[in-house]
């Protein structure tokens, strides 16, 4: 890994290498917790799809930052989820479905914060 990072760094003026997650045994979640398409496993190709999706969005970033702005978190999360889910389906690690079905499942599984109004008594 270190040799690959050094080789990559030699090709660019300002190299950056970011890990995408903890090692698998320390991952923040397991597939059944997060993959809306019912993927049975998380493969290297799915991790690559996630990293590539983030990279593409970062490349669109007009202010030159290395990651999309935090204000775009929902859009980024949906974009990454779709890329991973599409890869899971393509690999046969999830039930067969088309892009519209994948998008609908992601939307159904997405959490949206809803805050109740505070009245004057709770101020």
**Residue range(s) defining the domain that contains residue 79:** 29-110
Give Cα separations from 1 to 21, 49, 52, 58 (angstroms): 15, 19, 18, 23
The per-residue pLDDT for 112 is 79
Quote the number of domains for the chain.
Answer: 1
Q: At what angle do helices 73-90 and 99-109 cross, to 10 degrees?
A: 130
Between 121 and 103, whose confidence is greater? Answer: 103
Q: How confident is the model at residue 49 (pLDDT cuts 50, 70, 90)?
A: very high
Per-residue DSSP letter, 123 = -
In a domain, 11, yes or no: no
In a domain, 89, yes or no: yes
pLDDT in tens, 9-36: 677 776 665 555 556 666 666 666 678 9
In a domain, 120, yes or no: no
In a domain, 119, yes or no: no
In a domain, 1, yes or no: no
In a domain, 47, yes or no: yes
């Amino acid at each position: 890994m270190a040799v690959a990072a050094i080789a990559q760094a030699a090709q660019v003026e300002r190299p950056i290498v970011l890990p995408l997650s903890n090692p698998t045994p320390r991952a923040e979640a397991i597939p059944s917790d997060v993959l809306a398409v019912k993927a049975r496993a998380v493969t290297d190709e799915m991790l690559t799809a996630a990293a590539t999706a983030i990279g593409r969005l970062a490349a669109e970033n007009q202010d030159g930052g290395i990651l999309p702005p935090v204000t775009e978190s929902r859009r980024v999360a949906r974009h990454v989820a779709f890329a991973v889910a599409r890869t899971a389906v393509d690999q046969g690690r999830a039930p067969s479905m088309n892009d519209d079905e994948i998008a609908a499942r992601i939307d159904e599984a997405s959490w949206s914060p809803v805050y109740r109004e505070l009245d004057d008594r709770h101020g």
